[in-house]
């Protein structure tokens, strides 16, 4: 019986997912990020201290457990919080700045819907340093993601970027003290619209109507170049934190325009709901699928990890792999060229010849060609049909000499299992956009 929010992909979908992960992993490593996997559980007080997550955390305890220590563990809802804990615990063993990638399941007890799950896979990169983290890492994050996702047969991605300092400095300049609440309300702009955001700012953040209108006006500013900074300054609000945030945001936008034109847009309504972000924030949309929201997000956190007098600021970004693929699977927007990894089916003339057929398959496998032997001896026509149903492109016929047949074209040639090679395009299942 299916359980809502816990996806189980069919093998063709799982093969697509693995190809996506291969691309993401390879790209992360090309940029020098090292692999890491952390435990699935964290102390509950750690999880609850990082934002509005109390309704999302899954508790972990034994069926016959007591109500003490084990009841205080929860499954992690993202990979940033456990990574911060890992850095603090292992700081003496790490070389800083520490660059890591992490591809792992996370759990959130939210209402399942298309592209949103309770158990899902994330692929994160972060850079953490001791005491201070140079700002140029903020400019690197979107470029890595643009490279990783740009090499996949998916719709074009568009990374929206903002800076919390811009928002908080602007709100301070307006005279609003509860900047965290203003951010939380403005973060709902796409979901509830400007009128309701204005109402909630007045009701929950102590804003006057004119202050709320100014917050909404700031959130409406968007540009692909540094012109957004002029638009903000024209609103007439001044604050040192606002100036600092604008300067940082300009640096990220200009770096992206140089290295990846069209990838990035400054969008001042982006806030991110988690409380640990302190500067740059990112959200990523799939072209044509904008209504589903962000499939990749993150930002700068200067205060997430600390131990005594040591502070470990960082910046990171996370691809919601299950979210992105779930949306695309739901629209049949991705296809794989065959249902199995198998490239060659070795036909079995008679059961007595299975050992010889196994030796042929082994010779092909030694050279990296995915091969299986037919499950039973049957007429060759039936064995070809078996291969065709599974999308296996080649059938190998034992004989004197052996031959191999491309069952798509009908071409059949003599072949030696120690030398024959399929075209590169057939060696592995190919993933394409539908």
The response to whether 389 counts as a known ligand-binding position is no
- 240-259 helix and 164-174 helix, angle to the nearest 10 degrees: 150
Q: Stretch 344-368: mean pLDDT, rounded?
A: 97
- Distance (Å, rounded) from C-alpha 141 to C-alpha 303? 19
pLDDT of residue 422: 97
Is 108 marked as binding a ligand? Answer: yes
pLDDT tens, 202-253?
Answer: 999 989 999 999 999 999 999 999 999 999 999 999 999 999 999 999 999 9
Residue 343 pLDDT exceeds 80: yes
Structure tokens at 31: 């940029």
Domain definitions of the chain by residue range: 1-135+302-336, 157-286, 344-433
Class of domain 157-286: alpha beta
Distance CA 301, CA 19 (A): 31
SS3 at position 279: coil
pLDDT at 399: 93
Instruction: Say which CATH architecture domain 1-135+302-336 belongs to.
Output: 2-Layer Sandwich (3.30)
Interval 193-205 mean pLDDT: 92
Backbone angles phi, psi at 18, to 5 degrees: -65, -35
pLDDT band at 190 (very low <50, low <70, confident <90, very high): confident
The CATH number of 344-433 is 3.40.50.800
Handedness of CA 184, 186, 189, 192 (dihedral sign): positive
Structure tokens at 100: 């890591």
Q: pLDDT for 46-99, tens place per residue?
A: 888 765 566 788 988 877 766 565 558 999 999 988 999 999 999 999 999 999
Q: What is the mean pLDDT of the chain?
A: 93
CB-hemisphere CA count at 13 Å for 209? 1
Is position 79 annotated in a ligand binding site? yes
What spatial distance separates the first Cα and last Cα of the chain, rounded to whole Å?
Answer: 30
Closest CA to 330 of 364, 280, 377, 295: 295
Comparing 23-37, 48-62, 407-421, which segment has the lowest mean pLDDT? 48-62
pLDDT band at 329 (very low <50, low <70, confident <90, very high): very high
Distance CA 343, CA 199 (A): 61
Known binding residue 58? Answer is no
pLDDT computed for residue 274 by the predictor: 62
122 is in an annotated binding site: yes
- Judge whether 276 is annotated as a binding position: yes
Across residues 124-137, what is the average pLDDT?
96
The residue ranking higher by pLDDT, 260 or 113, is: 260
Domains 157-286 and 344-433 share a fold: no
- Whether the model clears a pTM of 0.85, i.e. scores above it, the answer is yes
pLDDT at 142: 96
Secondary structure letter of residue 234 according to DSSP: T
290-302: per-residue pLDDT in tens?
999 999 999 999 9
What does the pLDDT average to over 265-284? 87
67 annotated ligand-binding residue: no
- Distance of alpha carbon 385 from alpha carbon 407, whole angstroms: 9
- Strands 98-107 and 34-35 come out as parallel
Output the six-digit token pair for 408.
């798509």
Phi and psi dihedrals of 403, rounded to 5? -135, 155
272 is in an annotated binding site: yes
User: Which residues sit opposite 160 in a β-bridge?
Assistant: 265, 283
Q: Which of 6-15, 125-134, 307-316 has the lowest mean pLDDT?
A: 307-316
User: Does 277 count as an annotated binding residue?
Assistant: yes
In a 3-state reduction of DSSP, which class is residue 354? Answer: helix
For residue 113, what pLDDT band results from cuts at 50, 70 and 90?
confident
pLDDT for position 48: 82
Q: Residue 79 and residue 62: Cα distance in Å, rounded?
A: 24
Q: What is the pLDDT of residue 248?
A: 97
Helix, strand, or coil (residue 428): coil
CA 213 to chain centre: 34
Separation in Å, CA 263 to CA 144, 150, 259, 325: 11, 10, 9, 20
Q: Count Cβ atoms within 10 A of the Cβ of residue 27 and give its class: 0-12 exposed, 13-18 middle, 19 or more buried.
A: buried
pLDDT for residue 49: 74
Q: Are 275 and 51 in contact (CB under 8 A)?
A: yes
Angle at 102 between CA 96 and CA 103, to 5 degrees: 170
């Amino acid at each position: 019986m299916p359980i809502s929010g816990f996806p189980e992909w069919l093998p063709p979908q799982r093969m697509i997912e693995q190809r996506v992960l291969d691309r993401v992993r390879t790209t992360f490593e090309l940029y020098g990020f090292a692999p890491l996997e952390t435990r699935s559980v964290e102390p509950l007080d750690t999880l609850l201290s990082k934002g509005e997550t109390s309704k999302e955390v899954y508790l972990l305890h034994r069926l016959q457990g007591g109500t003490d220590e084990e009841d205080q563990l929860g499954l992690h809802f993202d990979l940033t919080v456990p990574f911060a804990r890992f850095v603090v615990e292992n700081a003496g063993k790490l070389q800083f700045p520490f660059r890591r990638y992490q591809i792992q399941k996370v759990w959130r007890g939210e209402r399942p819907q298309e592209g949103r799950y309770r158990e899902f896979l994330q692929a994160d990169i972060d850079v953490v340093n001791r005491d201070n983290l140079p700002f140029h890492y903020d400019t690197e994050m979107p470029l890595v993601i643009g490279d990783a996702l740009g090499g996949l047969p998916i719709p074009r991605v568009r990374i929206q970027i903002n800076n919390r300092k811009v928002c908080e400095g602007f709100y301070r300049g307006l005279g609003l003290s509860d900047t965290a609440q203003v951010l939380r309300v403005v973060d709902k702009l796409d979901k509830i619209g400007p009128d309701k955001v204005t109402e909630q700012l007045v009701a929950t953040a102590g804003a006057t109507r004119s202050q709320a209108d100014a917050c909404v006006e700031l959130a409406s500013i968007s540009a692909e170049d540094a012109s957004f900074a002029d638009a903000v300054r024209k609103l007439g609000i001044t604050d040192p934190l606002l100036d600092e945030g604008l300067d940082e945001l300009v640096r990220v936008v200009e770096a992206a325009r140089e290295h990846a034109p069209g990838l990035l847009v400054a969008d001042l309504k982006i806030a991110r709901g988690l409380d640990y972000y302190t500067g740059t924030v990112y959200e990523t949309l799939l072209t044509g699928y904008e209504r589903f929201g962000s499939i990749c997000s993150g930002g700068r956190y200067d205060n997430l990890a600390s131990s005594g007098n040591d502070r470990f600021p960082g910046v990171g970004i996370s691809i919601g792999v299950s979210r992105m693929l779930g949306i695309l699977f739901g629209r049949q927007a991705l296809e794989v060229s065959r249902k199995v990894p198998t490239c060659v089916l070795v036909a079995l003339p008679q059961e007595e010849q299975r050992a010889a057929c196994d030796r042929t398959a082994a010779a092909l496998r030694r050279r990296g060609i995915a091969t299986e032997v037919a499950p039973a001896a049957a007429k060759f026509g039936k064995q070809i049909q078996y291969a065709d149903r599974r999308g296996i492109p080649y059938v190998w016929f034992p004989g004197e000499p052996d031959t191999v047949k491309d069952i798509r074209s009908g071409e059949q040639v003599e072949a030696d299992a120690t030398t024959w090679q399929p075209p590169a395009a057939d060696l592995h299942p190919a993933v394409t956009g539908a």
